[in-house]
Amino acid sequence: MTGDSLVPATRSVLCHNGASPFATFRHQTPYLAMHAVTHAVTLPAVLMQPFIVLLVLFSALLHATWNAFLHTSGDRVWQFGMMSFPYLVCSAIVLLFVPAPARESWPYIAASAALQLGYCVALAKAYKAGDFGQIYPIARGLSPLLVFAGAFVFAGEHLRPLALAGVTLVSVGIISLAFRKRRFATASVPAALVTGAFISAYTIVDGIGVRVAGSGFGYIAWAYILFNVPLAAMAFYRYGGPRRLFLDDPRRSLQGLGGGAIAMVAYTIVIIAFRYLPIAMVSALRELSSIFAVLIGWLFMREKLTARRVLACALVTAGAVLIRI
pLDDT tens, residue by residue, 1-29: 655 555 444 333 333 334 444 443 334 44
Residues of the chain with pLDDT under 50: 7-43, 45-46, 48
How far apart, in whole angstroms, are the C-alpha atoms of residue 5 and residue 205? Answer: 9
Numbers of helices and strands, H then E, in the chain: 15, 2
Residue 225's pLDDT is: 94
What angle in degrees, to the nearest 10, is found between the helix axes of 76-95 and 250-273? 50
Under the phi-then-psi rule, with left for phi > 0, alpha for psi from -120 to 50, and beta for the rest, what region is 29? Answer: beta
Domains of the chain: which residue ranges? 21-324
CA dist 206 to 100, 183, 203, Å? 16, 37, 5
Q: Which amino acid is at 82?
A: M
How far apart, in whole angstroms, are the C-alpha atoms of residue 76 and residue 70? Answer: 6
Q: Contact 109/226 with Cβ under 8 angstroms? A: yes
Question: What is the residue-averaged pLDDT of the chain?
Answer: 78
Residue 1's pLDDT is: 66
**Per-residue pLDDT reduced to its tens digit, 278-305:** 766 777 788 788 889 888 999 988 888 8
How far apart, in whole angstroms, are the C-alpha atoms of residue 247 and residue 232? Answer: 16
